Amino acid sequence: MIIPRRIYLYTVTTLVFLYTVLLLQHIIYALLVRLGLTDTSSPVNFLDLVYNLSIYTFSKVHAVVDLIIIAIGVVHYYWIHQEIRSDDTAAVSGIRAFFLAWLACSFGLRVIFACIVAILQVNPQFQTTPPIATQVAIAVTWLIGLGAIAIEWSTVHEPFERRGQAIIKWIALFGQWILTITALFTVSQFIQSLLQMQLNPLPYCVGSGLVVAIFGGGCTILPPLLSASGIVVIAGVGLYAYRRWATRYEIVALVHLDAFVMAVIIGGTIAYSGAQCLRLIFDLAFRIPATFVPDSFLTDPPGNVASYPYLGFFIAGLVAMSLFLWRAIPRWREDRIDRFYSYIAWALVSAASFFLGGYGTLANILLVIAHKPVMSTDWSQTLSFLPIGTVGWLYLWNNVQLIARGGRRGIVTIPGRIYTYILLIGTMTAAVISLIIIALLLFTALYHIPLDPSGTNIYRAISVFLISVPFAYLFWRIPKTWR
C-alpha cells in the first residue's frame, strides 16, 4: 500500500500546486490589466488558449473555492513530509524523483518559451498595450513556481535511489531534446535574419503557419539581429542548463539513448533542410517561375519571389553536427557502442530520406509511363531527398552492415538489433499497407466506385510496394546470420 499511497499524495499535491500557480498567473495578469500594461483582448495564440489568460474575477465564491483547494494541497503536502520524517526511503524514492523532475522540467520549459514569446511579441500593433507584459507575467509566475520546486528539492540532501536517478535523467534528457530542436530553430532564424538584413531589409516577421499558431507572430519593432540574438541566447542558456542537469546522473543506457536521439535530431535537420536547398536548385533547373537566387533563400523575399527559407536550418544543422562530433569522437575511442548508436541514427535518417525520395521518384516515373500529368514541382520535391538519402546510406553502409551482422565475431549489439528491426518492421509495414491499398483500389475500380478519380494513387502505392519489398527481404535475412 506504500506505493499507491505515495502516488496519490504526490498526484493531489502536484495538481493543487499547478492550480495555485495558474491562480497566481491570473492574479498578476489582472493586476497588469488594471495598471494598463496589457490589454483585455481575447487569446491570440495556442499558448494563450491553453492557459486561458482571461481576467481573473475576484468574488467570494472564487475565494472560498480557491482556499479549499489550496487547503487540500497543504494537508497532502504535510502528509508527504510526515512520511519523509518517519521513513528515510520516502525522501529518495523513485515516485518523489518523478514528480519533482517532471515539475522542474515542465516549469523550466514554460519559463524559457514565455521569454521567447515575449521577444516575438514586441509588436508595433500593440505599442500602447504591448502583450509582452502578459508573457513577462507568465515567465515570472512560473519562475516563482520553479523556485518553489528547487527549495523542495533541496530539503533532502541524500541522493535519490538508482531508479529515481534514471527517471530524473530521462526527464532531463526529454527537456534537452526539446530545447535542442528549439535552439536549432532559433539559430536558423538568426541566420535568416542576417540574410534578410543584407539582401532585403524589412521589418522582422517571425515565422509563419504553425510557428505563428503556437507562439503568435507579426513583425517585431526590434532590430532583426537584436531580436534573433536574444532568442538564441535564451534557447542556448536553457539548453546548457538542461544539459548540465542531465549529465549529473551517469546511466550508461541513457547516455547511449541521448547520443542516438541527438544524432537523429541533428541528422534529420541536415537531411531535411539540405533536401529543401536541393529542391531550390532543381526548381532553378526546371525553370519554375518566381524562383531566383539569392532572393529565394529569404524568409520574406521581395515581390512575388518564391521563398525557400531553409539555408539557415542547413547551416545551423552543420554547426550542431560539428559540435556533436567534437564532443563525440574522443568518447568513441573508448566506447564503440556509443559510436554504433550514432551510426545507426544517421543510417535511419538516410534510409527515411532514401525511401521518401525513391518512392516519389518511382511514382513519378510510373505516372509518366501511364501518361498521367506530373508537375515539375513534383519532380523537384521527390528528387531532392534521393541524393541526400543515397549519399548518406552509401557512406555508412559498410559500418552499418558490420554492426547489424554482429561484426567479424558475429556478436550483435543492441544498436545492430535496433537498426535491423526498425527497418524490417518499417519496410514490411509499408509493403503490407501498400498491397492492401492496391487491392482496394483495383476492387473499387472493378465495380466503378470513384475512390481514385485521378488514377494516380494506385501508381504511388505500387511504387511504395516495389521499393519496400526488396529491402524487407534484405533485413529479414540479416537476423538469420546472428548467433
Q: What is the pLDDT of residues 203-233, one digit of tens each?
A: 544 443 334 433 444 444 444 567 777 788 8
- In percent, how much of the chain has pLDDT > 90? 12
Does residue 407 share a domain with residue 281?
yes
**How far apart are alpha carbons 117 and 186 in whole angstroms?**
12
Top pLDDT among 410 and 104 is at 104
Domain, as residue range, for 39: 2-250
Top pLDDT among 300 and 362 is at 362
Does residue 320 share a domain with residue 224?
no
Judge whether 256 lies within some domain: no
**How far apart are alpha carbons 347 and 327 in whole angstroms?**
20
Of the residues 250, 278, 302, the one at which a domain ends: 250
- pTM of this structure: 0.80
Judge whether 105 lies within some domain: yes
Judge whether 368 lies within some domain: yes
Does residue 277 share a domain with residue 241?
no
**Arithmetic mean of pLDDT over the chain:** 77
Helix axes 2-34, 132-153, angle to 10 degrees: 150
Residue 303, Ramachandran bin (φ over 0: left; ψ between -120 and 50: alpha; else beta): left
Task: Give, for 280, the enclosing helix (H) or strand (E).
Answer: helix 252-285
Judge whether 97 lies within some domain: yes
Q: What are the pLDDT digits (tens) for 322-377?
A: 988 898 888 887 777 778 888 888 888 888 888 888 888 888 888 878 777 766 66
Band of residue 454 on the pLDDT scale cut at 50, 70, 90: low
Does residue 309 share a domain with residue 236?
no
**How far apart are alpha carbons 355 and 437 in whole angstroms?**
18
Top pLDDT among 146 and 247 is at 146
Predicted confidence (pLDDT) at residue 107 exceeds the cutoff of 90: yes
Band of residue 137 on the pLDDT scale cut at 50, 70, 90: confident
pLDDT of amino acid 386:
86
pLDDT of amino acid 428:
92
Judge whether 257 lies within some domain: no
Does residue 284 share a domain with residue 215?
no
Does residue 244 share a domain with residue 275?
no
**How far apart are alpha carbons 166 and 248 in whole angstroms?**
11
- Which three cell numbers, joined as nine digits, stand for 97? 524523483
Which position has the grid cell 536548385?
281
Judge whether 255 lies within some domain: no
pLDDT of amino acid 27:
79
Band of residue 25 on the pLDDT scale cut at 50, 70, 90: confident
Of the residues 220, 250, 280, the one at which a domain ends: 250
- Which of 15-29, 123-137, 216-230, 449-463 has the largest mean confidence? 15-29
Task: Count structural domains, the chain.
Answer: 2
**How far apart are alpha carbons 34 and 108 in whole angstroms?**
28
Q: How many CA atoms within 13 Å lie on the side-chain side of 376?
A: 11
**How far apart are alpha carbons 264 and 250 in whole angstroms?**
21
Q: What are the pLDDT digits (tens) for 239-298?
A: 899 988 888 887 777 888 888 899 999 999 999 888 888 888 887 777 777 676 776 777
Counting every residue written for the chain, the total comes to 483
Average pLDDT over residues 162-168: 87
Ranking 41-45, 396-400, 474-478 by mean pLDDT, the lowest is 41-45
**How far apart are alpha carbons 292 and 272 in whole angstroms?**
21
pLDDT of amino acid 117:
78
Does residue 346 share a domain with residue 215?
no
Predicted confidence (pLDDT) at residue 54 exceeds the cutoff of 50: no
pLDDT of amino acid 34:
72
Of the residues 226, 250, 274, the one at which a domain ends: 250
Evaluate whether 405 touches 412 at the Cβ level (below 8 Å): yes
Does residue 170 share a domain with residue 120?
yes
Does residue 266 share a domain with residue 246?
no
Does residue 238 share a domain with residue 299?
no
Does residue 8 share a domain with residue 157?
yes
Does residue 208 share a domain with residue 308?
no
**How far apart are alpha carbons 203 and 226 in whole angstroms?**
12
Judge whether 202 lies within some domain: yes
> 351-390 burial string, b = 16+ CB within 10 Å, else e?
bbbbbbbbbbbbbbebbeeeeeeeeeeebbbbbbbbbbbe
Judge whether 439 lies within some domain: yes
